A and B are shown apart, each in its own frame.
Chain A
Amino acid sequence: MRLPAQPGERLDRTRPLTFTFEGATVEAFEGDTIASALYAGGRRVFSRSFKYHRPRGLLCCTGSCPNCLMQVDGAPGIRACIEPARAGAVVRAQNVLGSLDRDALAVIGKIGGPFTPVGFYYRTMIRPRWAWPYYEKVLRNLAGLGRVDRHGRRTRRFDTEHRRTQVLVIGGSEGGVTAARAAAAAGEQVVLVDEGLSLELGGLDELGIEVVAPARAIGIYEGGLVPVDAGNVLLRFRAERIVVATGSLDQPLVFPGNDLVGVMLPNGIRRLVREWALRPGERAVVIAPAVEPIVDDLRAAGTEVARVFDLNERPPKEIVARGRKGRLASVRVDGETVACDLLVMSSGRQPAYSLLAQAGARIEYDAATGIFVPRDLPANVEAAGSVAGTSHAVPNLFPASAGKRRFVCLCEDVTTKDVRRAIAEGFDSLELAKRYTTVTMGPCQGRLCHLASVRLYARETGSDEAAIGTTTARPPWSPVTLGLLAGRGHEPVKHTSLHRRHEELGARMMWAGAWRRVHSYGDPAEETRAVHRAVGVIDVSTLGKLVVSGPDAVAFLERLYPNRFVDLKPGRIRYGVLGTDAGRIMDDGTIGRLSEQQLYVTTTSTGAEAVLEWFEWWNAVWRMDVEIVDVTGALAAVNVAGPNARELLGRLTELDVSPDGFRYLDLKEAPVAGTPCLLLRIGFVGELGYEIHCPSPLAEHLWDTLLERGADLGVRPFGLEAQRILRLEKQHIIVGQDTDSESNAIDAGMPWIVKLDKEDFVGKWALEHLQERGPRERLVGFELDGAAVPAEGSQVVVAGRPAGRVTSARWSDELQRSIGLAWVPPALAEEGSRLEIRLNGSLQPAVVRARPFFDPEGTRLRS
């Protein structure tokens, strides 16, 4: 039923549309919201309350309460009164079992007793203890509003956009529009964000003001960041000046029956009548401080105004609303009962200051006007219009009213009795009581319950509102879809220049930090055989690579590493372990001397960024004459390893690759397969090997050539898994795998790299102390008697007590043994020591091996 056309109504009556509600067709006009269309169709119950499943109807019609939450096109928690009616939308009720009008869960509201007051689950469901999981299941089912399809996929697209403006006006209230006009007139760039409730936004774009509507500011964060929910796009605004014009909010009165369907706030009436041409009810009672505009609205709608109580003139002592089946039937005021189906009530208006408080404003109670007002606004933040504190509210609470439940908080179904009980239980600060009772924590975020709960608290504790104060205002000020916050969810991922080649070879990939690396090409054991018997190639482009140059380059590395580099000759390489001042290992790699003043430093794949930061930091501190250039991405790298590696490399380069021409730990610059390369003869995997570094755009060419020209030599690509087995056979450690944040180079079995006779280096003092103190544990190799492979982290047991841990373990196809590395007590670090390893609940005997399992003399490596 619609009224005749109202001046300024939102409806376009020439454009009808339909959507469905609970399967039934609902007629609407363009300009309707879901709620206004349903109201026009005669619906009065819009939701069931959170805990008691009491029927609830439209209360505010401005998106400020929980009463019209519905499920729209699968998305739960949509406020129907501000959600535009769209043709074809599928709307459902939520938080009901059965239907809105007959909700089976309403029985909860009738049981009462110990089952329902706040915190009941902490008290009533804790015994017997074993039953909690069952209780929890039931509670989980009852808790929350709406249902999310757990198996659903992304159905909507949410984007993020970064915006800047000189002036951002939040709220299209009169104050907001005035401020926007003034700023535009002063030549400032202005953006105005409005929830879509304002009717006065016409003509602003002609002034050069950008209007973003319907859109909601979620909060004001540090640094003046204002994320704005514009539906499918999250606009992250950074503004030089923020004008908050969020206006003020109708504050409900708290009296028995205040949640009945038919009890409404003045602004809701105004919107129903003026914007959607609806008659809110047949016979109304009005109780409010400013009654004339309400009466005007009601008369315009043809509603009979049965009785008006002006709170400014003669506030009543008692109000009790009574209903029939949850719908308002009559109101008794100071003993006088009036039959009605509509009660328009308000205690006044409270500034919607939350965004200002988030921005840093102090919120103070003003006893003269009875409201909380923002003070001491931070620089660059302004309040325009009634949010600044021009409204007022009467401090009535009607303590005399006896009768049924009085709801302080509609969102969470918290009554005055619950609050009293919380205070009696000792929750005597507002912040604590908020967490216990959950008042102000529901969908309305305190819009309709904060002021009333502070008043109640003040009365009950014999204090006043000013002393009680407010709770901390936090984002989100407006409800926001998680999908919008998540955005598109692209995580940066790094691919090597050989990524396509690995994919073509059907490699199984794995994460290594942000990198995608090859785990294996199918059969790791077979890959290790190729390295031991023929030749293997592995993509090690992910290694961190730095060129450190300048007159102080060597001195710089001398101060950073425990190693010595002054005697490192150009063209030679040394293994280095990077430590912190606490002596802890942070990374390892090779350091090659390109020339007197140029060094080439490699780091672990996942440590590259941290090492670069570390180097730059110490350089900022020491201010030495060095230049550090990160060439990680500039160079791809392939390690060619195995007895046939020399033959293969020799086919692709003019370089003398003979054992004397290119020795172990030599560094050379030369073209390979026509591409300029840096070659390092090192051997992480324990066989004769060359690490070839080439410009990344030429990596595929180098890789293809190696595979082509090495085909007759049995060349085979291998992945990280094979590499891990191979290096374990040599007892080569992996920093971060075999070491942790406590490990140091001495205990890790590398005392030979620590040169304590150097004047100073990072970690020297700590290592000196460690040296004096002696090791507390040692990293050693072990082999198991049986074929089982313990999991990483398995316990090392000595004489029945835990004494250490396994860091790596693998089955070695070459050795036909289960081998690994473990931290053990120093006394057990000797060759041949016996220990046990806990494996699937049983203890497996193992023996310590102090030297590499494979090629302990390193003859193959140096061949």
Chain B
Amino acid sequence: MSFRLSCPSCGPRDVNEFAYGGELAARPQERPDVRELGSYLYFRANVAGVQREWWFHRLGCELWFQAERDTRTNEVLRTDACVSETQAPLADGPVEPADAAIPPEPAV
């Protein structure tokens, strides 16, 4: 990988300066049942397309921020530092996985 990622506080840098934090996952607000917990912990949308995800500027300013990246081309459409309450990963959930894909009792 050699694409460039723009850190909201440092500007464009080589992707190797960053740590990848995965796509956003909605942490349940209430105590989840086993199914919901399994879905939150183990299921990701894994889209072939634009995905909103976490990045950490590990070798730079150490900021966690979010990027919108096309997983097919590694084109980064935008990055932003603001993880406001409404944009928080807790509220902004990933695509719901298809029901059939969830095993009845995930191994927690």
- Hey, which bits of chain A sit against chain B, CB under 8 A? 221-223, 225, 360, 581-583, 609, 612-613, 616-617, 620-621, 623, 765-766, 768-770, 773
Contacts and interface: CB of A to CB of B under 8 A. Distances in A.
Contacts of A769: 34, 37, 108
Contact of A582 (B31, B73, B108): B108
A617 B41 contact: no
Contacts of A612: 62
Given A225-B2, A583-B108, A766-B108, A621 B90 contact: yes
B31 to A, nearest CB: 6
In this complex, the member of A609, A612, A620, A623 whose beta carbon has the largest number of chain B beta carbons within 10 angstroms is A620
Contacts of B28: 765
A620 B40 contact: no
Interface of B: 1-4, 14-15, 19, 21, 27-28, 31-32, 34, 37, 40-41, 54, 56, 58, 62-65, 73-74, 83, 85, 88-90, 108
B40 A617 contact: no
Contacts of A765: 28, 31-32, 37
Contacts of B19: 613
B40 A770 contact: no
Contact of B56 (A223, A360, A616, A773): A616
Given A222-B74, A613-B56, A623 B83 contact: yes
B37 A617 contact: no
Given A223-B2, A581-B40, 14 more contacts: A221-B2, A222-B2, A360-B73, A581-B27, A582-B108, A613-B19, A613-B56, A616-B64, A620-B64, A621-B83, A766-B41, A766-B108, A769-B34, A773-B108
Given A765-B32, A765-B37, A617 B2 contact: no
A620 B90 CA distance: 11
Contacts of B56: 613, 616-617
Contacts of A360: 73
Contacts of B37: 765-766, 769
The 3 closest A-B pairs by CB, nearest first: A620-B64, A223-B3, A222-B3
Given A623-B83, A766-B108, A223 B4 contact: yes
Contacts of A613: 19, 56, 58
In this complex, the member of B2, B14, B19 whose beta carbon has the largest number of chain A beta carbons within 10 angstroms is B2
Contact of B21 (A617, A768, A770): A617
B41 A581 contact: yes
A648 to B, nearest CB: 38
Nearest to A762: B27
Nearest to B54: A617
A609 B74 CA distance: 26
B74 A582 contact: no
22 contacts: A221-B2, A222-B2, A222-B74, A223-B2, A223-B4, A223-B14, A223-B15, A582-B108, A613-B58, A616-B64, A617-B56, A620-B63, A620-B64, A620-B83, A621-B83, A621-B88, A623-B85, A765-B28, A766-B41, A768-B31, A769-B37, A773-B108
Contacts of B40: 581
A621 B89 contact: yes
A765 B30 CA distance: 10
Contact of A222 (B1, B34, B62): B1
Contacts of B1: 222
B22 to A, nearest CB: 10
Nearest to A618: B64
B56 to A, nearest CB: 6
A111 B60 CA distance: 62
A768 B40 CA distance: 16
A17 B18 CA distance: 51
B30 to A, nearest CB: 10
B64 to A, nearest CB: 4
B67 to A, nearest CB: 13
A521 to B, nearest CB: 35
B69 to A, nearest CB: 12
Nearest to B42: A582
Contacts of A773: 108
Contacts of B15: 223
Nearest to B73: A360
B3 to A, nearest CB: 4
A525 B32 CA distance: 51
Contacts of B21: 617
Contacts of B108: 582-583, 766, 769-770, 773
Contacts of B65: 620
Contact of A617 (B14, B64, B73, B90): B64
B32 to A, nearest CB: 6
A623 B4 CA distance: 27
A219 to B, nearest CB: 10
Contacts of A620: 63-65, 83
Contacts of B63: 620
Given A613-B19, A617-B21, A582 B4 contact: no
Nearest to B81: A620
A613 B73 CA distance: 27
Nearest to B36: A765
In this complex, the member of B19, B40, B83, B108 whose beta carbon has the largest number of chain A beta carbons within 10 angstroms is B108
Nearest to A236: B2
A796 B84 CA distance: 51
A705 to B, nearest CB: 35
A773 B107 CA distance: 11
B50 to A, nearest CB: 16
Contacts of B4: 223
B62 A616 contact: yes
Contacts of A223: 2-4, 14-15, 74
A768 B32 CA distance: 11
A766 B37 CA distance: 8
Nearest to B28: A765
A768 B31 CA distance: 10
A360 B90 CA distance: 36
Contacts of A616: 56, 62, 64
Nearest to A583: B108
A623 to B, nearest CB: 7
A613 B20 CA distance: 11
Nearest to B32: A765
A183 B99 CA distance: 57
Contacts of A581: 27, 40-41
A590 to B, nearest CB: 23
In this complex, the member of A621, A623, A773 whose beta carbon has the largest number of chain B beta carbons within 10 angstroms is A621
A617 B21 CA distance: 9
A623 B41 CA distance: 22
A768 B27 CA distance: 16
A360 B64 CA distance: 30
A616 to B, nearest CB: 6
In this complex, the member of A223, A623, A769 whose beta carbon has the largest number of chain B beta carbons within 10 angstroms is A223
A799 to B, nearest CB: 25
Nearest to A616: B64
A360 B74 CA distance: 12
A765 B19 CA distance: 27
A769 B15 CA distance: 38
Nearest to B66: A620
Contacts of B54: 617
A304 B39 CA distance: 80
A583 B63 CA distance: 26
Contacts of B64: 616-617, 620
Contacts of B73: 360
Contacts of B3: 222-223
Contacts of A582: 41, 108
A613 B40 CA distance: 21
Contacts of B58: 609, 613
Nearest to B84: A623
Nearest to B29: A760
A748 to B, nearest CB: 15
Nearest to A773: B108
B87 to A, nearest CB: 11
Contacts of A621: 83, 88-90
B24 to A, nearest CB: 10
